Amino acid sequence: MQPSRMIRCAFYRLIPRVTSQVTEHQIFSCPWRSRLSFGTARKGTLASASFSRRHFQKDLLTFLDSSATPVTVTEIRQYLRGNNISFYDGYSCLHVPSPFTLCQGNNLFIDKTTGRFLCKETLLEGTWEDYKDSMELLNKERSSFLSPDTMASYFGDSDTEERDRQFNNMEVSRIWNKAVWFHDLEEEDAQLIKTMFSISKINSTTLKKFGVKCFQPTKSLVFPWFSPRDATVKGLKLLSAVCKDNNVTYVETFYPQLSQYQNLFGLPVLGKKDTEVVITSREVDSLAIHQATGVTTISLPRGITCLPPVLLPYFEQFKRIILWLGDDLHAWEASKMFSRKLNVKRCLLIRPGDKQPSPLQAFNLGLNLNKILKTSLPASHKSIISFRQLREEVFGQLENAEQVAGVKWARFPDLNKLLKGHRKGELTIFTGPTGSGKTTFISEYALDLCMQGINTLWGSFEINNVRLAKVMLTQFSLLRLEEQLHLYDEWADKFEELPLYFMTFHGQQNIQTVIDTMKHAVYMYDMSHVIIDNLQFMMGQEQLHTDKFALQDYIVGAFRKFATDNNCHVTLVIHPRKEDDDKELQTSSIFGTAKASQEADNILILQDRKLVSGPGKRHLQLAKNRFDGDVGVFSLEFNKTNLTYSSKGKAKVKRVGKENEPPPSPSSEKPTKNKTEK
């Protein structure tokens, strides 16, 4: 029988029980519900006279704090040397003795990119400033570590957080205690449940070793999160099968909620001296690899969506890391991205392909997993390579043409026809007449992608984040919420789950600060899309004697480089130069020299066609498309109630080269208006 059919059959035998229970226990999560940040609520510094309480716990933070003082690894090293603190230079972290424990050894890890630390003994974490303050306090205490009493008085959780934690612990204990081991189930029940999750070949010994249980009321797999400190169960992930329209989908439920779920599944199984590990994106993949090969495996808490830097210390012991994250191009992209954080020199990647499907599938097909692991490719590459090294990658691109074309917009099918999709690492330039609705359109265009799991960062320099978020929430809910305030919380809760972040900049900014913040966001939250609205807000901060066109070229070049280096899409809004109001804009209408249009992969123009359209009518023109050359135009209709544009009519596709434009002459141009923040 086909595996998918077997799953469905198993499902139907269980369906009466499953459906009645799932809703009761599920906090439905989508792959894109992956957002995490580790904001430390700073309430004064430890070194200050009052020694107010410091909160070291994690906290949801969707605004990227651009005011946090960046620290370089050189500065960290200098500080440690200057204070006679011995350290070991690891792959992603510096290893130092922890001021929070009497245990010997380097058990505190300082992230080389952000300066944040994690003490593996106490699980305390904080910023670089927190670490320095702790060291200062330690010197004042004149003891060899900060005692629990001292810690309790300065580092504590608020009452609400404590209450949340207690509630979570009760829920976790309730489920964990009620869940049963597979070897305690009736053989027939165990097989049925295993069939639902395609893990029939995973034996009870492997499941027990990794602590996997079954929660019978919902027929869910229970993956435990054991505290690395004392091996108690501090969280759970429930994997449940839901059948709808003859299709089985899998739903994950997290305890604590997703934003706080940081379980590296498999951690308790590994030995302290292990030097090699295979990282997977799903727990079932880890089970399959471990059973088939005996190698150490760890699976990431949120699959391919992100690798939070706070988890990096747990990988420091490994000299060799193989990333086998799945069977598609997204998994391949993620493995390249994660290997940069883990340090490419020790990483090897499994390239998805027919002979290299996902680990569980490979195991179920009877493939030799050891052999597949041996085919892993080094993540680091030299500056000069031959086609031999590229041929597999080229084949992969040809084989997965649909995925290479990028993520499709759900709300703009005509844009998909022309642009084919939204691809990582590209630069899109977006322009349109003043006040034509550029921000409104780009907000919906980015929201659409974000709702499909694209980790998105907004740099809105012109309109403040509250106003932008209000527009986005309206577009998200498709409702005029000011008239239905009772629905606000419901929609805000859903909106909060989007992987959406905002830079806190407003008004004129220095380009380097903006690029640094974007790099930080890519490292922390694995951003795939950054929107900059708009370029003119980076122009005012630079030295006045610099030629404005040269300056703009430099800024465009910086965004181009960022997009390529970080494999992150940048959408850059640029105002058009001043032209006749009755003329349509074209590529050459973009303010500045031809550099912007040369560097861009895509150019989108919001045309308001004042002469031929009615009020509210707009057209979106794709004037450049480096991916496959198709350019064209389609109409948009504005809905003032929910601030959305729905594309109308059929996209006219014309081949590249038909756009016969004269090259732009920057000499006489003026931007359409002198920008001040709205």
Ligand X SMILES: Nc1ncnc2c1ncn2[C@@H]1O[C@H](COP(=O)(O)OP(=O)(O)OP(=O)(O)O)[C@@H](O)[C@H]1O
| Cα-Cα end-to-end distance for the chain | 63
From 51-59, 97-105, 379-387, 430-438, span contacting ligand X (CB under 6 A): 430-438
The span of 81-89, 295-303, 429-437, 452-460 binding ligand X (CB under 6 A) equals 429-437
- Retrieve residue 54's tokens: 């410091």
Residue closer to ligand X, measured from CB, 55 or 618? 618
Query: Binding ligand X by CB under 6 A: which of 26, 227, 434, 513?
Result: 434
Instruction: Give the Cβ contact number of residue 317 at 10 Å.
Output: 16
Interface residue with ligand X among 90, 437, 576, 632 (CB under 6 A) is 437
Q: Which two tokens stand for residue 341?
A: 């954080």
Question: Minimum CB separation from ligand X for residue 474, in Å?
Answer: 9
Cα–Cα distance for residue pair 565/92, rounded to 1 Å = 19
**Cα distance between residue 207 and residue 545, in whole Å:** 68
Task: Name which of residues 534 to 563 contact ligand X (CB under 6 A).
Answer: none
**Shorter beta-carbon distance to ligand X: residue 522 or 643:** 643
Query: Least distance to ligand X from the beta carbon of 476, Å?
Result: 15
Four-residue CA torsion sign, 283, 288, 290, 291: positive
Strands, E assignment, 66-187? 88-89, 93-96, 108-111, 117-119, 125-126, 180-181
**Considering only residues 126, 432, 576, 671, which one is a binding residue for ligand X as defined by CB under 6 A?**
432
**Least separation in angstroms between CB 619 and ligand X:** 10
CB of 321 to ligand X, least distance (A): 45
Q: What DSSP designation does 506 have? A: -
The contact pattern for ligand X, residues 460-489, with x = CB under 6 A and - = no contact, is: --x---------------------------
How far is 540 from 507, CA to CA, in rounded Å?
10
| Nearer residue to ligand X within complex by CB, 289 or 415 | 415
| Mutual angle of helices 187-196 and 3-25, in 10-degree steps | 100
Binding to ligand X (CB under 6 A): which residues in 120-179?
none
Q: At CA 385, angle to CA 380 and CA 388, rounded to 5?
A: 105
Q: Give 265 or 502: the residue with its C-beta nearer to ligand X.
A: 502
Q: What token pair was written down for 244?
A: 């709808």
| Whole-number Cα distances in Å, 584 to 551, 606, 609, 610 | 27, 10, 6, 9
**440 interacts with ligand X by CB under 6 A:** yes
Distance set, CA 310 to CA 35, 346, 461 (Å):
13, 19, 30
Candidate list 3, 148, 435, 649; residue touching ligand X; CB under 6 A: 435
Stretch that binds ligand X, among 414-422, 436-444, 597-605, 622-630 (CB under 6 A): 436-444
CB nearer to ligand X: pick between 33 and 438: 438
Between 434 and 541, name the residue whose CB sits nearer to ligand X.
434
Of 65-73, 182-190, 342-350, 427-435, the segment contacting ligand X by CB under 6 A is 427-435
Nearest residue (CB) to ligand X, 320 versus 467: 467
User: Whole-number minimum distance, CB 562 to ligand X, in Å?
Assistant: 22
Min dist CB 534 to ligand X, Å, is: 7
Q: Choose the stretch contacting ligand X; rule: CB under 6 A; options: 183-191, 227-235, 434-442, 452-460.
A: 434-442
Binding of residue 439 to ligand X (CB under 6 A): yes
- State how beta strands 500-503 and 456-460 pair: parallel
Euclidean distance between CA atoms 571 and 569, whole angstroms: 7
Closest CB to ligand X among 244 and 640? 640
DSSP line for 464-490: -HHHHHHHHHHHHHTS-GGG-GGGHHH
CB of 638 to ligand X, least distance (A): 3
Q: Which residues of 164-184 are buried (b: 16+ CB within 10 A; e: fewer)?
A: eeeebbeebeebbeebeebee
Nearest CB to ligand X, comparing residues 567 and 646: 646
Please state the closest distance from residue 596 (CB atom) to ligand X, in A: 17
Question: Cα–Cα distance between 671 and 482 in angstroms, integer?
Answer: 35
Tokens of 537: 């807000």
Q: How far is the CB of 432 from ligand X (least distance, A)?
A: 6
Give the C-alpha distances (Å, rounded to integers) separating 404 from 57, 89, 415, 508, 599. Answer: 39, 38, 16, 36, 20
Give me the least distance between CB of 623 and ligand X, in Å please. Answer: 17
Helix, strand, coil in percent for the chain, rounding step 5:
40, 20, 40
Using the minimum distance from each CB to ligand X, give the nearer residue, 435 or 557: 435
Q: Give me the residue label for tokens 């680990």.
A: 359
Q: How far is the CB of 618 from ligand X (least distance, A)?
A: 5
Please, which contacts does 173-177 make with residues 24 or more away whose CB atoms are closer than 8 Å? 173/233, 175/25, 175/215, 175/222, 175/236, 175/238, 175/255, 176/213, 176/222, 176/224, 176/233, 176/236
| DSSP 8-state class, residue 456 | E
**244 or 678, CB closer to ligand X?**
678
Backbone angle region of 420, left / alpha / beta, with phi > 0 → left and psi within -120 to 50 → alpha: left
Smallest gap, in angstroms, from Cβ of residue 677 to ligand X?
10
**Total binding residues toward ligand X, as defined by CB under 6 A:** 13
Among positions 231-250, residues that touch ligand X (CB under 6 A) are: none
Taking CB under 6 A as the criterion, which residues in 608-667 touch ligand X? 616, 618, 638, 643
Instruction: With contacts defined by CB under 6 A, name the span among 298-306, 357-365, 437-445, 654-662 that binds ligand X.
Output: 437-445
Smallest distance from ligand X to CB 447, Å: 13
Identify the bridge partners of residue 90 per DSSP, sorted by sequence position. none
Residue with smaller CB distance to ligand X, 223 or 591: 591
Selected from 291, 436, 474, 586, the binder of ligand X by CB under 6 A is 436
Tell me: does residue 196 bind ligand X (CB under 6 A). no
Q: What is the binding site for ligand X (CB under 6 A)?
A: 432, 434-440, 462, 616, 618, 638, 643
